[in-house]
Structure 1
Amino acid sequence: MGKKKPEVANRAVPSQMPAKKHQHVQKENRKQNEQQSSQPPRTKTEKKPKEKAKRPQNGTAEEINKVPAKKRKLADKQNGNADQIETEDGPQIEKKLDTTKINKGIFAIFNKLQDTNKQNTQKHVNEIIALLTNEAAAEKRTATCAYALKRLVRCTGADDKEAVALNASYINSILRDVPGLDPIELISVLKRELHASSQQKGKEETLAAVGQLITVLAIMQSQYFQQPTAELIAVVYPILIAQLKGREYLVSLCADIMADSFKQVSLASFQSHVWPLLQPELNKPITAQKLHGCDLLLSVHLNYPKLLPLRQLQTMLWRKQTQFEQLFDTYLNNATMQGDGLYARLGKFLATCSSEQVLAAWQQHIAEHLPFKHVTAKSYIIQTLSHVLMHYDDGSRTDMQLEQLFTLEPLVSMLLGELTAAKKLNSKANAKAKAAQRQLRYICRKFETALLVSFQQQLKQDACKLGILRPMLQLQLQLDNIVQTPRFTQQLLAQLGEQGLEQMYEFYSEQFTSNNELLTRTNREHCLKQMQQLQNSRRNKQLEFLLFASLFHLNDQQKPCTADEAAVFSRQAASRCEETLFSCLVNKIGTNTEQLAALNEQLRPLLGQLAKKLSKPGIEGKLRITVTPEMRVMWEKVQKVLNAPVKEKQALAVIFDALILFLGLAMFTPSCNVALDLIDDLFICKQNALKTKQAKDKQRKSAAEAEPNWQEVLTDVLLQLLLQTGHFWRLFVNAIGGALMPHLNKRNLEQFLELLDMDRNPLDDKDWDDDDDKSDEEDEEDEDDDDDEDDDDDEDDEDEDEDEDDEATNLARIREGVRQALLSNENDDFDSSSIDWNDVGEEEGERLNQALERAFHIRKPKGAKGKNAKRQTKSERITDTALLHLRIRVLDLVELFIGAQPQLDIILNALNSIQKVYRISSADTKLQPLAEASKKTLRKLLAQKISYQSPDQDKQPIIDCIKQLLEQNEEQPPLAGPLKQPPKAKGDYVVWRNKCIAYLVSQFNEPNVTASKVWPLLQSFAQDWASRRNSPYQLATFDAIFGSPWIGIGRYAASFYALLSMNLRLFRRVQILELLLKHCRRICNTLTNKLQTAREFHGILNKYEPVADKDRSLQKKLLAQLQKVLTEAEDSA
């Protein structure tokens, strides 16, 4: 079957008339529409006055179905008022529908509306609105408008939901945008076209009733009902009230429309026109009431409390004793999920009712029926609770009923369960879910929004907010894992006051230290994270707790104990406490000495408390690590620094104190594997760094040349600390490095750059082995294990020797194969180097090709050996990952160094190293984090202004650096393993290489550009690129130079203009013209004599003779740009 067209234009409510009669009616309709102005049509009222109350001949069943006289009289009696209006307005409407006065353009637009393409519907509706609005003749405009509304109203009674909604939107658009309409006349047309009694007896009348309600809704949504007149109210509400006796879905739709419309009707109008008609329908006891009758009563009570106060409402529903449970059962026992408006009115009634017993009764009502199994019951509870939250005012109530509501654990459990189920319905699962499940997911999302809005706008007291939040967190600590709203818990906590935050801190602290075995490690870590965010004024107390929780085993009373007596939280989350402790210390720490001094002020009281605790006998056995004699000696040295007077004026003293105190605290944590020798080196470095100048000179003369200075030792210490796990180590080293960089020298930068050398692995060096001596001692103590290890090493050595022998054998075979391949059959005795490759024939070339292919063919390893040869071991993967992270962290130190000391040689050394790192890492998929980090450092380096020692400083190193960068154009970055180069890797590298070249060229800012050292180099680049087909230089390089802030781009552009006069290939000419056109404005702005130079450029271009359409078009565009520049220069002159 084809796609069904929307019910627009001549398509009306489906009829049930016989086929012949239906054809006859359609024929009569066509004849009537085709009549011309010379022969105006005769209206039905003129021809048959007895049938003026019938519909026009539009193909409906009512035209044929003959109603018995008794039933017609009864219907007339019941709808006397409506029939009277219809009878009085009938002739007037019929006159307006005279086809001679209708704009014929409306027919074509209605034909377009039959198109099934929904994208064009709004366009066609706008055409109708424009046609009706722009019509100047009043009679013609009125007739056209009446005709359009008549056809659209007729289609709202169609047996198609989409068509009904579509036509109702058309009516609403016309009512909203076309001025001067009369909604009362539209109601008259509605009654004539869609006749429906209060008790529908067939499908046609039911569809007509739906059309009536939809059209009335369109009127109520227009501006005519914002402040409705008494006449409009008197016409509209009888139609709605008449449908309260119809089918269930009609009653539901009618009740929703009426309940929402009460907001626009004043009390006087409602009391005089609506309530007399509505009260008889609603004045029933609760046993005779249905759901929508109760909804309308609540709506009248909420909108007109003086007209229907609570006591009168109770009297209407309960003749004797008030039982709100009966009212709530009416909502609960409904088998259909209702719209949000119905539950919104119930929730508002519960939250704002003057009687405090109502909300308590609802709580008791749902407590008796929990748990709920049906989706409709869950929907009723969640939606009603959402609107209770939206309207509950905790400032005007003292019953704390809302907090009592959330003490129902089954209710909170049901809420959390539905929130969890709703979040699991992602985009894929949502497509397969049932309609009720999708609707419940939407309801759960609205509950989350309602809770947020309630916290932000409605609730004022922290006690009420905590009464809602804490019961939910007690059942689900990580609330964000089950809700759809991002950062849901943080948004709720942000609405609490200081006392509320204190109570939430205590709550998370209690949960963290709880003995509940059901709390997982993840939940405890989440509590610790929340405590860290809520710390505020409790920071010092929290640091004290984190200190002891990180270093000691703690019991239930949070006192140090042995490992066997440790509480659950101490066993599960001690490592997280350790990380949180140091993260709090270095949080938002800067790179200056003042912030390091603030860090020392935090470390000193913590270490003081630790010293008091460690001074007690037997306390070492309660630590989480085993204390060695070397640690005791080192702790005594740290205590001396701790007790020494603070020297805040000496920057180096502050730096060394921060290092010593931080490492002195970290050496008691299990995760820290920093060698004690490093801390000992810090004391020596501090002593040497703080010596007077005379003492330093004396020591420098007496010390051996091979002995490193304190800067080199301290740099090695920082690099060793970067190997530690934990992000806080990176922050701490960056803070120390930022304050230390002004005191370092070029040799220390080389220490950083050595780790960025991609051709070697610095972690394999013996200098980085911290435990050589310790390993030797362990070897002497455990000889048996060492013998076994030596045996294993011997086996490994034998395997390596075998691999080397196999490799040597393969190389020998390849060498011999190549030699045999290069020797021809005729000249086997001659050396292969005597072959003239230009004289090799086609057959001989094919033979050499096959022979060389066989010579270079190496057998691939088979079986397990082949797999092991390709796959890295676990230790190798760990080493590669550690090296990757180390290099990323070293880039931070390089960035700090060039920011503190931007001298020319330092900038060039860093640029070469970082550019090489990016070239290699961008070509390896496993090194993409390093590529991004190096790109970030390159970006900051290229924005750094170079500091020169003097204006006449030699800039030859810049020239050498430019040449070195250009020589890397054809180099392929070495790849480790079978990884392929990413598609964009080479292009990205070339872009950044060109940026580096442009940055270096821009350093030559001498007034006489042609006399600078870079000028001959750039000229040779341009000449070689223009004259050679396979030049190593690229157009992108010149593009980057012209885009740089170099003051010589104007003079350099003249060289490219001069190239146009040479005998160049068309491709090069087009490239030059495109380059000059792209940067024309920037080039001219840098010229000292703008007018004269622009004329020279213009003259060169005029002499240029294009050879193709491409360069001819570019020549015209460039001439136009230059002409603009000349005009501006002449005007300014």
Structure 2
Amino acid sequence: MEETEVKEENGENTVKKVERTILDIFRKLINPHENVRVKAGSSLLNYLVKTAKNSEGQAELKYALARLVRGLGSPTFVARAGYYSTLVALLNLRQDINPSDILDLVETELHTSRKNSDAENADIRSGQILAFGAAARTDLWKRASSKQKEDLLNLVLTAAKERVYLGLFAYSFIVDLVAADPAIRGDAVFSNRLREEGLKPWAEQTLDSLYLVLSLKLLNPALFSKKHIAEGLGTREIICPDSLEPLCKILMTIPRVTSLKHPAFEAVVKLLTPDVTSSFFDELDKHLKTPNRNRLLVFIKIMTITLRQPQLLNHTADLFTDNLIRQLLGYFRTFKGNQKDNEYREAVQKMFQTLIEAFQEKHATSALKIAVIRKFLFNPGTFVFEKVTKSKVVQQITQSLDAEGVKELAAVYKGVVDGTESINSENESETWLNNDRLYSAHLLIKLLNLPTMKLESDWKVEQLTFLLEISLLKGTNGMNVGRELAESLKAAFYGALDLKLSKLEELQSILLKLAQHLSAKINEENLETELRNPISSETFQLWQTTMKKVEKIENRQKKGGIKAVFLTLFLHMGLQLFNDVQLASDSLKELFSCYDRVKKDKKAQPAAESEDDPYWTEVVVDLFLNLLSHNSHLLRSIISSVFPHLCTYMNSTTIHQIVSVLDPTNDENPLSKTVDSDSEESEAEEAEDEEDEVDEQSNDSNSEPESESEEDGEPESATDRLRMALHQVLTNDDNESVDLDDMSDTEGERLDQALGEAFREFRPNRGRRKKQSKDQETLTHFRIRVLDLIEIYLNSSPSMLLTLEIMLPLLQSVEFSIRDEHQKPLNDRLRSVLKKLLGLKKFDNIEGVDHTILADLFKSLLDKGSKNALIVQEMGEQISQCCIFVIKCSQILGAACKGAKRLRAAILEVVSGELQSFLTRRDCLTPYVLFKNILQQCWEGNIGLAIILQELLFSADVRQYQKNQVAELLKLFYSNQRFFSQFQAKVERKMAEAHQHFSSSIVEYFQGLCENPENRNVKERFICNLFHLLAAMKQSPLELSEVSWPEIAHQVTEYRSYKSFSSDAKLAFKKLCKLLNISNVVPMKPHVTKLPALIEEKNDSDDQEEEPKERRKKRKRKSNETLKLRKEAKQLRLESLSKGLEHAAEFANSVEEEVKDVEPQEAEESDQEATTPSPKKIGKSNRHSIAVNGNRDSPKRIKKKRKLSE
């Protein structure tokens, strides 16, 4: 290693030899990257340990210690961290370092001076504290004498007083030292010095010194006896009733927000005892009388720490003081708009989360939890506490209650609703606001569906009865309920009937008890006096009829099945007579009629259907659709609870009733009016729409709705419209090219208009500019609710026929919802239900399904209809999955009957026809993903598709880019291992001839490529796909004896010798060669251009040049005329400019004479400039020309100017 001389800075002029590597290491210790510092420190330590026994090692150690101690006083945190960590490790490794050496180095390297700036002296004091910390955290402290320990302690205590921010820094090392060394606790000198430093009067205490005292008290209670505390602090204990005032003042007065992380708060809480906890927080609460963000954050910090102490859990309710609740809510209410205080929000949410965790403990009683809830909801809290604080703390505490706790809380809520609960203990006359009573009723309702109350049916009846009486009946138990509050409570009561119960019998029992209770309260004479909203006598008669039917069903021994459905509906609709009379009356009359029919037909089977009268399930379904049209969650829940019991009675007619609501093509369906079809509009209408849009955005003006009616017949695709527009405007010959330069203005306008009409189909939906009307939004939500019925039916092992009848309308509804962005919720729900339908694997029966139905359905799925290319692209996956579902249904049907072959042939005929159309016709919109998914299925019809694909692979009728798709599809077919595991023998037998023909075709194809390797019509991507196809065929389990693999290998390698490949093609070629057991290294043959091909190419180029000859002549004539006009215009401009130059005649003449003299010379220079790139100096005469014209003039231009001046 190289050595360098380093002069010591301790006053001695001795020179030591230190290796240069050591110096480099010290530079790396101040690197901002921690990993670099760690690596450098490790290198230094390894070197110093190895050289410990050498004579030069002591000198190097001394130099290193001096550098490390000096570095502790660096002005940057990164440097101090690097030096400190290395020094600590070195003191632990080298036991031969004396404490006196460290003290001497601190005195020499880290001494303050008046000549230094305040910042420099502060850094030096930080270094002194770090030096003490390095000694305290290593074995050096144990090796030090009492005098040395005292000197180190005095050093750190003196440094801590120099700057305010150094106190916590120094005291942390002292606390760690006392915690790590129990022996030091008995050191009298050390203890006396700490008592002297810590036990100062309360007026002199700070947050840092308080942390020192509290931490030492926790570590060594004997260190601060009562006598010492009384002498120093002036109180009996550090935390006692006498010290709470100065203590809380110190805690609540923080200099900056960062002080919230001070460890003193944790130390104070650990010393709290249950007998002073309430008094302590009451004292803290006095500092919250006036709003102050920092003090509030301190309170929340102390509160959060206290909630983690199990011994203080019983005092949790006392912690939430009145001033805390007021400031907590008040500060949240000051936020306006997007204004946020993330630090405050996080502190509050952390406090709430800690509270919830504390209440999860077993010894947290229900009384304590309810007391905290009362703190949040009652004065000074509010019933909208959760809304204001953006939390769910009340709900989370409620969920932690046991059954008895929930009942106690329910009594509290009921007391608020009926007004018996006191709002304020100080003012008994104060009453609850209607909003508070209503919100309390909603909180009571939430208790009904808690998991802990699942089996408490009688208790639920009691609460619902309370809500029924207070909302429907007058003057119950002296409750003071006004009309407005009663209406709101009635809505709450009917919402409470939406109970989440696992069994329908439980719901029937609760509803029956409610109905019986209400029936006992009213009669025909007291309707006016008992009911808040009296009902008519006819309605009361209907109520009595309902109750009679309910009692008859209830008295039967067997009341399950369909009767349970009618019992539930009777009870719900009977109670609805006191809420929505018209809806309930109509519904009950229809239900009575249906129930009578069910009773006549004991078996309740579809065979009882009459030709003149609809089957009863059709009436019930119609009733359900009517109920779903109301925006009521209760009605939606009622139907969801009973409809599963009716699914076994569903027939084709009832299913059509449901899906007709979703079908946008149904003219009788009022919802189809919302379908926005594309219509052609004039440019004037478009301009008017744009003006309306601007007006809407600026003035909210009402623009007329756009009329977009769907055209009759099948709409043209965008490609067809573009082609027809060009054909009609420009020419009658599709093959003739069009020159836009030769187009007249009239033809250009016609072309613009035609293109505008063609591209209008791709214009974003105009509905996006307008807000969805209320009626349309209602219809959208109605359709979403109707989908609940379909989903319930699909979950009940449906019939295959009905499932297939549902699928097509769902797919058509998806198309409808895609066209309008406002239908996004409906689209999401439709996709979800459709996914569930397509996932069905078992059916209740397969009756009514045959090969004709499946084939026709397959055709309907692929029917273009009103879909354009964009819609098909959006729906491609759904269309594909529906077709796959039909194929799976055919397999299920084929396995259950004898017509499997006929089924497969019918569907294969449709699929093969679509495949040929897809590959040969431009206007085919069938999605490519359909064929990919089919060929990945385990379906025997794939054999026929593979044969067709092999025939079309090299067909001239298939465009080149679609040949790539054919190759990809064939690759998928030969990669379908699951398919070959079942049909390998059939594939080998049925495709033997196709494989033989394919083998000869691909050999001929590569032979043709070898004869003409420069054929530009052949794309490398297609060659790459052929390699992948051949590799897939080779890897398949098929024997493929008909394929001539040696000949194919020869032709492929031969072609490779003529053609260079890209990286993808090389990988495919390499893989194929490996499978064919041939080398992928092929020598390239020299490139030879054949003369006949060159001559043919030359003739073709000559023909191409002669073809547009007339057009080039015409364009040349136009360009010559334009150039002539430009020259004439320029001459006129020069003449007009020369009229103002009479006064410069003499100057112009002198310029002409100079030009005459230099004209030959300038021509010469021009020739030289044309032949040599070096610049030439500008002559005098040229400078004149440049001055006049602004650039250098050529001799020809100067002559022209001379003629003009003459």
Are 1:204 and 2:116 matched, yes or no?
A: no
Residue 686 (1) aligns with residue 595 (2): yes
The correspondence of residues 310-459 of structure 1 with structure 2, limited to 5 A, is 312-318=228-234, 323-324=242-243, 325-333=245-253, 335-337=255-257, 338-349=259-270, 351-352=272-273, 356=275, 358-359=276-277, 361-363=279-281, 365-366=283-284, 368-391=286-309, 393-394=311-312, 403-406=317-320, 408-418=321-331, 424=335, 429-430=339-340, 440=344, 442-457=346-361
Match of 2:824 among 921, 928, 932: 928
* Structure 2 residue identity aligned to 1:669: N
Q: Residue 1108 of structure 1: CA displacement?
A: 3.4
Shift of 1:1129: 13
Counterpart residue identity of residue 633, structure 1: Q
Q: CA deviation at 1:929?
A: 1.8
Give the alignment partner of residue 582 of structure 1, picking from 497, 515, 520: 497
Alignment partner of 1:546 is 2:478: no
The residue matched to 2:583 in structure 1 has which SS?
coil
Question: What corresponds to 1:778 in structure 2?
Answer: none
CA displacement at 1:1081 relative to structure 2? 4.0
Contact 2:376 2:382 in 1 (8 A): yes
1:350 touches 1:359 (CA, 8 Å); kept in 2?
no
TM-score normalized by structure 1? Answer: 0.69
Once residues 732 and 857 of structure 1 are traced to their aligned partners in structure 2, the CA distance between those partners, rounded to angstroms, is 52
Task: Output the amino acid matched with 1:631.
Answer: T
**CA distance 1:556–1:215, change in 2 (3 Å):** farther
- In structure 2, runs of 5+ residues without a counterpart are 420-430, 672-703, 713-727, 758-765, 1010-1017, 1042-1074, 1076-1206
Maintained 8 Å contact 1:343/1:383: no
- Per-residue deviation at 1:429? 3.7
State the match for 1:492 in structure 2: 397
Matching of residues 451-850 of structure 1 within 5 Å: 451-457=355-361, 460-474=364-378, 475-483=381-389, 486-514=391-419, 515-517=431-433, 519-520=435-436, 523-524=439-440, 526-533=442-449, 536=453, 539-547=457-465, 549-550=467-468, 553=471, 558-559=476-477, 566-567=481-482, 570-571=485-486, 573-584=488-499, 587-589=500-502, 595-615=503-523, 617-644=525-552, 645-648=555-558, 650-670=560-580, 673-692=582-601, 705-760=611-666
- Pairwise CA distance, 1:677: 3.4
Q: Tell me which of 991, 1016, 1022 is aligned to 2:877.
A: 991
Amino acid at match of 1:549: L
Provide the alpha-carbon RMSD of the alignment.
Answer: 5.3
Letter in 2 for 1:509: K
Check the 8 A contact 2:967/2:1029 in 1, yes or no.
yes
Provide, for residues 876-933 of structure 1, a one-character-per-residue CA deviation record: whole Å limited to 9, x for no partner.
Answer: 9444333222222222222333444633432221111111011111211122222112
The answer to whether the 8 A contact 1:343-1:380 is kept is no
- What is the rounded CA distance, in whole Å, between the counterparts of 2:1024 and 2:41 in structure 1? 47
Query: Who is 1:63 aligned against?
Result: none
CA distance 1:659–1:1086, shift in 2 (3 Å): farther
Shift of 1:683: 1.7
In the TM superposition, what is the alpha-carbon distance from 1:386 to its structure 2 partner?
A: 2.9
* 1:344–1:446 CA distance, 2 compared to 1 (3 A): farther
Which runs of structure 2 are paired with 1:127-276 in the superposition (5 Å)?
A: 128=40, 138-139=50-51, 157-159=73-75, 163-164=76-77, 168=81, 188=102, 191=106, 195-196=110-111, 202-213=118-129, 239-259=155-175, 262-266=178-182, 271=187, 274-276=190-192
Matches for 1:852-867 after TM superposition, within 5 Å: none
2: CA distance, partners of 1:198 / 1:280:
27
The equivalent residue for 2:681 is none
Work out the CA distance in 2 between the residues paired with 1:610 and 1:926: 44
Question: Contact conserved, 2:288 with 2:296, CA < 8 A, in 1?
Answer: no
Conserved? CA contact 1:600–1:658, under 8 Å:
yes
1:1088–1:297 CA distance, 2 compared to 1 (3 A): same
Query: Judging changes above 3 Å, is the alpha-carbon distance between structure 1 residues 741 and 150 closer, same or farther for their aligned structure 2 residues?
Result: farther
Deviation at 1:334, TM superposition (A): 5.3
The question of whether the paired residues in 2 share the 8 Å contact of 1:298 and 1:349 is answered with no
Q: CA deviation at 1:638?
A: 1.0
Letter in 1 for 2:924: S
| 2:498 alignment partner AA | S
Partner deviation per Cα, 1:73-120 (whole Å, 9 max, x = no partner): xxxxxxxxxxxxxxxxxxxxx98x93256395x478569x36xxxxxx
8 Å contact from structure 2 (residues 296, 324) kept in 1: no
Change (3 A) 1:661 1:464: closer
Aligned to 1:827: none
1:206–1:724 distance in 2 versus 1, CA, 3 Å: same
* Distance change in 2, residues 1:583/1:165 (3 Å): farther
Letter in 1 for 2:949: F
Helix, strand or coil at the partner of 2:308: helix
Q: Point out the more displaced range, 635-644 or 171-180.
A: 171-180
> Residue 889 in 1 paired to residue 889 in 2?
no
Kept in 2, the 8 Å contact 1:153–1:193? The answer is: no
**Alpha-carbon distance in structure 1 between the residues aligned to 2:582 and 2:540:** 16
Is 1:1013 equivalent to 2:925 in the alignment? no
Change (3 A) 1:839 1:1076: closer
2:474–2:532 contact (8 Å) kept in structure 1: no
RCO comparison, higher one (Cα < 8 Å, 6+): 1
Q: Tell me if structure 2 keeps the 8 A contact 1:1070–1:1111.
A: yes
The CA deviation at 1:1002 is 3.2
- Verify the 8 A CA contact 1:332 1:377 in the aligned structure 2: yes
**Structure 1 193/445 Cα, relative in aligned 2: closer, same or farther at 3 Å?**
farther
Given that 1:1053 and 1:1083 are in contact with CA atoms closer than 8 Å, whether structure 2 keeps it comes out as no
SS of alignment partner, residue 1031 of structure 1: coil
Contact 2:800-2:849 at 8 Å conserved across structures: no
Within 5 Å, give how 1:942-957 maps onto structure 2: 942-945=838-841, 947=843, 954-957=850-853
Kindly indicate whether the alpha-carbon contact (under 8 Å) linking 1:888 and 1:930 is maintained by their aligned counterparts in 2.
yes
Alpha-carbon separation, structure 1, partners of 2:1038 and 2:579:
75
Look up the SS of the partner of 1:759 in the other structure.
coil
Deviations 1:786-818 (A, max 9, x none): xxxxxxxxxxxxxxxxx9xx999xx9xxxxxxx
**CA offset at residue 287 of structure 1?**
4.1
In the alignment, is the contact (CA less than 8 A) between 1:1084 and 1:1090 conserved in 2? no
SS in 2 for 1:393: helix
- Alpha-carbon deviation of 1:994? 1.5
- SS of 1:674's equivalent in the other structure is helix
The Cα shift of 1:153 comes to 6.9
User: Percent of counterpart pairs with the same letter?
Assistant: 19
Question: In structure 2, do the counterparts of structure 1 residues 413 and 1030 end up closer, same or farther at CA, with 3 Å as the change threshold?
Answer: same
Which secondary structure does the structure 2 equivalent of 1:98 belong to?
strand
Whole-Å Cα distance in 2 between the matches of residues 193 and 958 of structure 1? Answer: 98
Output the TM-score relative to the length of structure 2.
0.65
Matched, 1:1086 2:980: yes
Could you list the per-position Cα deviations for residues 1044-1098 of structure 1 after superposition, in whole angstroms to 9, with x for gaps in the alignment? Answer: 4545546644653554344454422333344455676435653447599699699
1:829 corresponds to: none
Task: Choose 1 or 2 for highest CA Rg.
Answer: 2
Question: Contact (CA 8 Å) 2:797, 2:842: kept in 1 or not?
Answer: no
